[in-house]
Chain A
Amino acid sequence: MRDSLPMKNTSATPLGAGAKRSTPSGGLQAWLPRLVLAPSVAISLFFVYGFMLWTFVLSLTSSRMLPSYDFVGFGQYSRLMANERWWVASTNLMIFGVLFVLICLVIGSLLAILLDQKIRQEGALRTIYLYPMALSFIVTGVVWKWLLNPQLGIQAMVQGWGFESFRFDWITNPDMAIYTLVIAAVWQASGFVMALFLAGLRGIDDSIVKAAQLDGASLPRIYWRVVMPCLRPVVFSAVMILAHIAIKSFDLVVALTGGGPGYATDLPATFMYAHAFTRAQIGLGSASAMLMLGGVLAILIPYLYSELRSRKHG
């Protein structure tokens, strides 16, 4: 052995004979991982990307009852922009989305901080706060429709207690009905935000808090100045997820208000469904679906960008 290598003259394969092969493996084995992934990739390409493109194509056509392929450019988009109901739906989404996200964040973080004070029965409380997340939005809608019903629900109950002038009839009031969606959605999802924050709090290094205590900071101040800044990523993910839920909200509206009174509580998701499936406006419905996709991307891309960046740096 040592430095000089005996040159092989037996079994002298030409150099690089196998260099084209990408991995030392016997035929099929090398391709198995790719073969296993292939159906999923194909599914993804066809059912996600293909369908997105397909919907985009439909949105450029004048399709009504059935898809047709006579193109009208961006005509459906200008129709959409001129459609009052679309604007109501979009405005509703803004109101609903902003309130839903903010209130969930506030309630979720508060409950998490309170629960983090060595509470007896913490497990039971956590279970109660979080269980609505296991329910279908349809169930949530049915229950809250009943609770918000002026004749039989909360209003009737409080009036029954002797407060005759008590009014809580938002669900029948076109100006207020959108807020009932917020109430039901917050009821369903705020426990989840609590769980996210609690996991974040439990992940924080104890010594940071101890150091702040030694520095003489009060408890609320420690939370506000030391702990919350550490939870920035949690806030970020929570906003991301909640916004996503808000944009996709469909079932809740259907079950709680049916979009009504009139179309006062329409959201883009219900708008799209109504036009594409019941009002024979496939072109218009497709255009609205594309705008929804745009909305999701507008939230998703900055999120993914910062995720990837922080991962590279971190």
Chain B
Amino acid sequence: MANVIRRQTPAARLGRGLLYGVLILAALFYILPLVVMLMTSVKPLSEISAGSLLSFPQNPTFAPWTKAWGEACTGMRCDGVGGYFWNSFAIVIPAVLISTTIGALNGYALTKWRFKGSELVFALMLFGCFIPFQVVLLPMAQTLGWLGISSSRAGLILVHVVFGIAFTTLFFRNFYVGIPNELVSAAKLDGAGFFRIFWRILLPVSAPIIVVSVIWQFTQIWNDFLFGVAFSAHNTQPVTVALNNLVNTSTGVREYNVDMAAAMIAALPTLVVYVLAGKYFVRGLTAGSVKG
């Protein structure tokens, strides 16, 4: 779409110029908040109140970052967001690995070993992608209490796995549907069983969807706030909750540069993932949301 032949008339050139103008303006709209955030995070406080939003930092300083990382107050405690940053990793990594593994096995069983009712099982699980999480918050809080893991990282990992497998199952199911069933038939005749076929035949070709699933789960869980705020204690909070606390802690002067540095810290991992694997990120977004 776009094999439009154009003659280079002056009017066409003007149109082209306008086109680029609009596109660049739009790009500014999206990029400026990030630029402002970054610039503010390296300005001393004095420069912020004196200068304007877009003014370039005169005396760039890394102090707000170190303060945000190790000293800023998040609620009662004043030890920065650094610890919570690692908290997030400690929650995200197991949750991503577990939910992706389960999703891959589910997708495999649902597409390559169909049985009576397997479509129903899928529909049943798919619904988990759509519910508003408010509807599970209260029972979840109580269940975590019974299990003795409320306010713990294990509890948060459990929550993210439980509500992540609907998505990972969806990803892997839709991917494996496109893999010919004859491959599995051939492997069965060759004498391979359920797990062996998965391990030797399916898994080696699953790299693209594993990347999509890992990236999707990583961003979702890293960016989560609702579960984090509802099911964590001050020492198990993920970084999003700590950031929100930091920004809303009203002791003394508002240090906007520290706020912005903390926001940058919270945003960096997902931004890095996005920049490194943008293609898979987009694929996850569209796959996770468009196709049922």
Q: Tell me if B134 counts as interface (CB < 8 A to partner A).
A: yes
CA–CA, A153 and B23, complex, Å: 24
A289-B132 in contact (CB<8A) = yes
- Is A221 located at the chain interface by the 8 A CB criterion? no
Q: Which of B132-176 contact A (CB under 8 A)?
A: 132-140, 142-143, 162-163, 165-166, 169
Q: Could you say which of A49, A116, A127, A139 contacts B266, with CB atoms under 8 Å apart?
A: A139
Contact indicator per residue, chain A 203-222, by CB within 8 Å of chain B (1) or not (0): 01010011001000001000
B138 x A304 contact (CB < 8 A): no
Q: Is B263 an interface residue, CB under 8 A from the partner?
A: yes
- Asked if A195 contacts B225 (CB within 8 A), the reply is no
Residue-wise interface mask of A (276-305) relative to B, using a CB-CB cutoff of 8 A (1 in contact, 0 not): 110000100110111011011000100010
Assess the A119–B289 pair: CB atoms within 8 A: no
Given known contacts A67-B142, A202-B1, A251-B240, is B266 in contact with A47 (CB within 8 Å)? no
Partner of B274 from the list A40, A52, A131, A247 (CB cut-off 8 Å) is: A131
Smallest beta-carbon distance A207→chain B, Å: 10
8 Å CB interface, B11-35 against A? 19-20, 22-23, 26-27, 29-31, 33-34
Residue on B nearest A254 in the bound complex, by CB? B244
- Chain A CB within 8 A of B125 CB: yes
Q: Contact partner of A146 among B109, B260, B275, CB < 8 A?
A: B260
Give, as a whole number of angstroms, the nearest-CB distance from A226 to chain B: 10
A106 contacts partner chain B, Cβ-Cβ < 8 Å = no
Contacts of B140 in A (CB 8 A): 47, 51
Contacting pair B163 A47 (CB below 8 A): yes
Q: Classify chain A: how many residues form its interface, as a range.
A: 35 or more
Distance of A145 Cα from B20 Cα, bound (Å): 30
The interface residues of chain A lying within 8 Å CB-to-CB of B281 are 133-134
Q: Which residues of B contact A32 (CB under 8 A)?
A: 109, 113, 193-195
- On whether the beta carbons of A147 and B1 are closer than 8 Å, the reply is no
Whether B109 contacts A33 by the Cβ 8 Å rule is: yes
Chain A 38-50, CB-CB to B under 8 Å as 1, else 0, gives 0111011101111
A117 contacts partner chain B, Cβ-Cβ < 8 Å: yes
A83 lies within 8 A of chain B by Cβ: no
The answer to the question of A15 belonging to the interface, with a C-beta cut-off of 8 Å to chain B, is no
Which of B27, B224, B290 has the largest number of chain A CB atoms within 10 A? B290
Whether the pair B33, A213 counts as a contact (CB closer than 8 A) is no
Query: What residue of chain A has the Cβ atom nearest to residue B168's Cβ?
Result: A40
Q: Is A196 interfacial (CB-CB < 8 Å)?
A: yes
Pairwise interchain contact B30-A191, C-beta atoms closer than 8 A:
yes
Knowing A157-B54, A251-B240 touch, does A293 contact B138 (C-beta < 8 A)? no
Do A195 and B134 form a contact, CB below 8 Å, given A117-B2, A134-B219, A210-B3? Answer: no
**Per-residue interface assignment for chain A, residues 127 to 142, with 1 indicating a CB less than 8 Å from any chain B CB and 0 otherwise:** 1111111111111001
* CA A107 to CA B273, docked complex, whole Å: 25
Q: Interface readout for B97-114 with A: 1 if CB under 8 Å, 0 if not?
A: 000001001100110010
| Bound form: Cα–Cα A156–B285 in Å | 37
Chain B residues, Cβ within 8 Å of A248: 132-133
Cβ–Cβ < 8 Å partners of B27 in chain A: 125, 128-129
What is the bound-complex CA distance between A136 and B226, given in angstroms?
A: 11
Q: How far is the CB of B8 from chain A (nearest CB, A)?
A: 13
Q: Which residues of B contact A114 (CB under 8 A)?
A: 19, 22-23
In the bound assembly, the distance between CA atoms of A128 and B24 in angstroms comes to 10
9 additional A-B residue pairs with CB within 8 Å, beyond A128-B31, A206-B3, A251-B240:
A45-B124, A67-B142, A114-B22, A127-B278, A129-B26, A130-B282, A143-B36, A195-B285, A209-B3
What are the nearest 5 A-B pairs in CB distance? A33-B113, A136-B223, A134-B274, A251-B225, A33-B109
